[in-house]
Structure 1
Amino acid sequence: MPVSPRLARAAKFAVIPAALAVSGLLVAQSSYSAFSARTDNPGNSWASGSVALTDDDNGVAMFDVTNLKPGDSGSKCLTVTSNGSLPSDVRLYAEAGEATKNLDQHLSLKITQAASCDAATKDTIFDGTLNEFHTSKTNFSTGAGSWATAGGEGEKQAYTVAYTLSDDTPNSAQGGTAKVNFVWEAQNQ
């Protein structure tokens, strides 16, 4: 159907107001987008802390004693160092304890802790037989000691382990053996 000239003229004039309305909206939108604000917080990162222990044993057992007889005794001091960045609790316990001929029941241990090996005052953290130590102090939760580190490099605590083979050790313990691993464990609380 052909478009009449009058309708064509009316359509021509109707386009102008529509075009003006659209361009007005675009200008209004462009004006609005000129106002903006922003803030950011860049460079966020996370790193975990650490709990770390070493000791001054140089890979050598504190004790390698042979030919014990009733009444024999000895002691050694070992210094444990915390180099962790987190505060932690440190406890001492036994691992891999074993004995033959019940020697561990006649070998008494006294374990103390202090700021250094030559400290005048030392706190006793265990006083009993080797058998009692390796059967009761078997993990961190049952461990002996009360060292709470602050969380920094080079914090030290000295542990002295003294032993005595009881004077009343029976003949049945002759040729017996006793072994244990001393383990210091730190846990961040």
Structure 2
Amino acid sequence: MTFLAVLAGILLSGVVVLTTSHAVFSDTAASDGNYFATGDVDLTDELENATVLFEVDDMVPGQAEERCIEVTYLGSLDPDLVKVYSGGATDDGLAEWLAVTIEQGVGGNYADCSGFGGQSTIFDGSMDDFLADHTDYASGVGSWDPSAAGEKRTYRITVVFDENAPDTTQGASLTDLSFVWEVQS
């Protein structure tokens, strides 16, 4: 048995020597200069948020007011839809008597809606409903899906004071109304 133990010891030591004494070749490849940077979604309007769309005094029943605003997508990412919603308002009873229609299309601008065309209506209802039901991106309205930076859409907003508004609306107001355009990725 000693002979077998000696033989096993010699074989085992030979295996250890062979596995630890052979030469090793190696090589590497590197990928240098890697980086990560975020893209952006960027939306601007022709007024650069500097001017209000509507400043209307002394409205009378049946009166209509129309304004256009051009919105441009400037981001680097492929965004989801551009949505329009209310950023809030102070209402003392006038909103339910104002009909609002929001259309998106091309052409026209803040100074003049002539040339506006190719439109689709994205909201048609009372201002009261718009203020209550469209208050953030998830509930906003719109179908414009920009495909590249520099792409533009014009929005025409028409507000009509109901010709059947009661006398109780005399002196009423809707102030601090905010229309918000938002895009997400």
Alignment-derived partner of residue 173 in structure 2? 177
- The residue type equivalent to 2:146 in the other structure is T
Alignment RMSD (CA, Å): 1.7
Distance 2:120 2:170 in 1: 33
CA distance in 1 between partners of 2:125 and 2:73 (Å): 27
- The structure-2 alpha-carbon separation of the partners of 1:135 and 1:86, relative to structure 1 and needing over 3 Å to count, comes to same
Shift of 1:98: 2.2
Question: 3-state DSSP class of the match of 2:118?
Answer: coil
**What residue number does 1:56 align with?**
46
Question: AA paired with 2:38?
Answer: S
- What CA distance in whole angstroms lies between the structure 2 residues aligned with 1:111 and 1:129? 11
* Alignment partners' CA distance in 1, 2:136 and 2:123: 15
**Which moves more between the two structures, 104-113 or 51-60?**
51-60
The answer on whether the counterparts of 2:98 and 2:159 sit within 8 Å (CA) in structure 1 is: yes
Equivalent residue for 1:154, pick from 124, 129, 150: 150
Partner residue, 1:164: 160
Structure 2: which amino acid aligns with 1:175? Answer: G
1:109 matched to 2:100: yes
Where structure 2 has 5 or more consecutive residues not aligned to the other structure, the ranges are 1-16, 109-114
TM norm structure 2: 0.80
Q: Would the aligned equivalents of 1:116 and 1:156 in 2 still touch at CA under 8 Å? A: no
Q: How many pairs does the alignment contain?
A: 158
Shift of 1:183: 0.3
Q: Distance in 1 between matches of 2:85 and 2:172?
A: 23
Superposition deviation, residue 36 in structure 1:
2.8
Residues 88 and 135 of structure 2 are in contact (CA less than 8 Å); yes or no, is this contact kept in structure 1? Answer: no
Which of 121, 128, 137 pairs up with 1:140? 137
Structure 1 unaligned residues grouped into runs of 5+:
1-24
What TM-score do the two structures reach when normalised by structure 1? 0.78
Alignment partner of 1:40 is 2:34: no
Deviation string, structure 1 residues 112-163 (Cα, Å, up to 9, x no partner): 001333243210001111111110111101101111122x321111100011
Identity of matched residues, % = 31
Q: How many angstroms apart in 1 are the aligned matches of 2:116 and 2:23? A: 76
Q: Which of residues 71, 75, 85 is equivalent to 1:93?
A: 85
Distance 1:71 1:57 in 2: 28
CA–CA distance in structure 1, aligned partners of residues 120 and 30 of structure 2: 54
Greater CA radius of gyration, 1 or 2?
1
Secondary structure of 1:32's aligned partner: coil
